[in-house]
Amino acid sequence: MNFASEEYSASEANAVSAAMESMTIAPRGDREAAVAVVCPFSSGELLAERARELGYKLVLVFLAAKMEEGVLSCQVEGDYEVFYTGDDAETARILQDLPVDVQLVVPGAENGVVVADYLAAAMGLVHNPTELSIARRSKYLMGETIRLAGVRAVKQTISVDWDEIERFVLDWNPSPFKVIVKPNASAGSDDVFLCKNIDEVRAAFDCINGAINEFGEVNEGVLVQEFLEGIEYVVDSVSRNGEHKVVAIWQYDKRSLNGQFNNYFGMQLRAATTELEEALVAYNAEVLDALQINHGPSHAEIFVTRDSIVLVEVGSRIHGGHGTWKPLAQAAYGYNQIDETLNSYLRPDLFEALPPFPTELRVNAREVFLVNRFDGILRSLDGMERVRGMSSFLKEDLSVAPGSRMTKTIDLFTMPGRVQLLHADAEQVNQDYVRIHEMLLDGDVFEVVQDTKAIQAEEGPAEE
């Protein structure tokens, strides 16, 4: 990848703004208008489908071979599929030579953020400044960039050298000893560790450094950060020409489970009705300005501690999770980040009509993350019938079926499914949320049995 880029000049910025104002679905010449989605995975599939619904031809850009299953699977069929060659200018020419007029290049998932910036820049399309593209993907550079802008950031260091990590931690000597160790570029709590002594830091370092993450990328260096204690929120935004509009505020429910300190149990939609949410909105805008996320979507995870608001990380892309949250946001707010991302680029009048942030909930909405506590084979999902009968049940999204191998949930990639709850009565939503987690605790949703063949294979043949 061509990470070295020319300076983002004032003239380029003016050209981008002019392009934003003139962009419509009208094709150039006799070619039909098209949208290119880089890494159309997870929620990126819904982004691609929405572009097609709006009348655009669909170009899917992949960084590697298209997968049929797993994190990098894509079930959307594009009108054209292009594979990134490793050279921005060359891939841009391939896109420009297609028999369609590509008017927008946008990432569908985290691993497409940098490439989308560079391809859009090479094609003269709307993009965020490429000089900070890497900082918008690297968690370490992200933190240092906002710190330089005067925005509260976590204490941190990064290195591929254990001696440097050890020296930083011992000099710091946090009390109580709680240190977060994680990859520099990942998602979904992939390989995130809470370490309570230097030996645990070393073990986490050895696990992460040089390993392959869930996106198939090599972890280059290990990030060590202060442990944040408080409540974690998600602020989803859409921006246009530096104007930021918050399109969703979620409050996470994370708990310790299966040896993982921050397992996702669910999330709840909020409206900006108190000083707390308004402070989140203001802090989020400072982060986006510092990272020059001037156009398109962003997905920020932000902690509210006892004495401050501080960024965990922000992605310059839509909220992931396969977009299972979309119907909840649409029902509760009347809009959603996927639709508004495309509107911000292609239908500016609709972007202008959006409020700066949501101030009310039309209905109450929560998403239940179905955590699994057992290893083995899934025998049945009979308990889901009880879940479907709950008053606030809206829909389910399961990634397992009877016969599937089940592993204990430790992150979003090992979570077997989600349930969306929606109701006018907040108490009804909360009661159903609690009941589902009680059922999960009792093993009443997933009936998991031991895989005796796997156990025998691990233990070897029985002795006579």
Per residue in 259-277, pLDDT (tens digit) is 888 999 999 999 999 999 9
410 shares a domain with 278: yes
Strands 376-380 and 447-449: antiparallel
pLDDT of residue 11: 38
Q: pTM higher than 0.95 for the full model?
A: no
Residues present in the chain in total: 464
Q: Are the C-beta atoms of 237 and 294 separated by less than 8 Å?
A: no
Instruction: Let me know whether 98 and 216 are in one domain.
Output: no
Which residue in this structure is represented by tokens 């979309």? 326
pLDDT at 70: 59
Rounded to 10°, the helix 88-96/113-122 angle is 70
Whether the CB-CB separation of 138 and 184 falls below 8 Å is answered with yes
- For residues 218 and 245, membership in a common domain is answered with no
Backbone angles phi, psi at 315, to 5 degrees: -105, 135
Neighbours of 213 (CB within 10 A): 20
Within its chain, how far is the Cα of 95 from the centroid? 26
> Averaged over 46-61, what is the pLDDT?
98
CATH number, domain of 212, equals 3.30.1490.20
Residue 139 lies in a domain: no
Higher pLDDT, 74 or 124: 124
Looking at the structure, do residues 390 and 274 belong to the same domain, yes or no?
Answer: yes
Last residue of a domain, one of 206, 226, 246: 226
Q: What is the model's pLDDT at position 318?
A: 99
Does residue 138 lie within any of the structural domains? Answer: no
Position 464 confidence tier, pLDDT thresholds 50, 70, 90: very low
187 and 239 within one domain: no
Which CATH number fits the domain that encloses residue 47?
3.40.50.20
The model's confidence at residue 218, banded by pLDDT at 50, 70 and 90, is confident
What are 153-164's pLDDT values in tens digits? 999 999 999 999
What's the number of CA atoms in the CB half-sphere (13 Å) around residue 87? 4
pLDDT at position 7 over 90: no
* Residues 373 and 392 both lie in one domain: yes
361-376 exposure pattern, b = at least 16 Cβ within 10 A, e = fewer:
bebbbbbbbbbbebeb
- Nearest residue to 351 via CA among 338, 366, 362, 341: 341
What pLDDT does residue 128 have? 98
Same domain, 192 and 310: no
Asked if the structure places residue 150 within a domain, the reply is: no
Last residue within a domain, chosen from 226, 248, 274 = 226
Q: Are residues 284 and 397 in the same domain?
A: yes
Read off the tokens for 398. Answer: 């399961």
Say which residue, 297 or 210, is predicted with more confidence.
297
Domain that holds residue 82: 10-127
438 pLDDT more than 80: yes
Q: How many domains does the chain have?
A: 3
What strand order describes the sheet that includes 309-315? 309-315, 296-305, 230-240, 243-257, 260-270, 364-369, 417-423, 393-398
Predicted pLDDT at 50: 98
- One domain for residues 221 and 311: no
167 plus 96 within the same structural domain: no
In the sheet where 222-226 sits, what is the strand order?
A: 156-159, 222-226, 179-183, 193-195
Domain co-membership, 109 together with 93? yes
Q: Residue 452: pLDDT above 70?
A: no
Distance CA 94, CA 354 (A): 35
Q: What is the pLDDT of residue 316?
A: 98
Q: What does DSSP assign to residue 84?
A: -
pLDDT at 213: 74
Task: Provide the CATH number for the domain around residue 437.
Answer: 3.30.470.20
Residue 20 confidence (pLDDT):
40
User: Which of 20, 16, 25 has its CA nearest to residue 129?
Assistant: 16
Note the pLDDT of residue 21. Answer: 41
Give the angle subtended at the CA of 47 by the CAs of 247 and 105, to the nearest 5°: 100
pLDDT for 42 beyond 50: yes
| Percent of the chain residues past pLDDT 70, beyond the cut | 88
User: Which residue in 281, 321, 320, 325 sits closest to 304, CA to CA?
Assistant: 281
Measured over the CA atoms of residue 117, residue 121, residue 122 and residue 126, the dihedral's sign is positive
pLDDT of residue 75: 87
pLDDT score, position 73: 77
162 plus 290 within the same structural domain:
no
Is there a domain that residue 308 lies in?
Answer: yes
Residue where a domain terminates, one of 85, 109, 127 = 127
Q: What local confidence, expressed as pLDDT, does residue 64 receive?
A: 78
Q: What pLDDT digit, counting tens, does each position of 18-38 carry? A: 444 444 455 556 899 999 999
Question: Do 157 and 168 meet the contact criterion of CB atoms below 8 Å apart?
Answer: yes
* Among 414, 387, 410, residue whose Cα is nearest residue 400: 414
Residue 1 banded pLDDT, cuts 50, 70, 90: very low
Which whole number is the average pLDDT over 320-330?
97
What distances in angstroms separate CA 421 from CA 121, 392, 442, one per listed residue? Answer: 41, 5, 20
Beta strands in 32-118 (DSSP E): 32-38, 57-62, 80-83, 100-107
| Residue 54 pLDDT | 97
Q: Which of 181-195, 251-265, 394-408 has the lowest mean pLDDT?
A: 181-195
Position 17 scores a pLDDT of 40
pLDDT of residue 210: 83
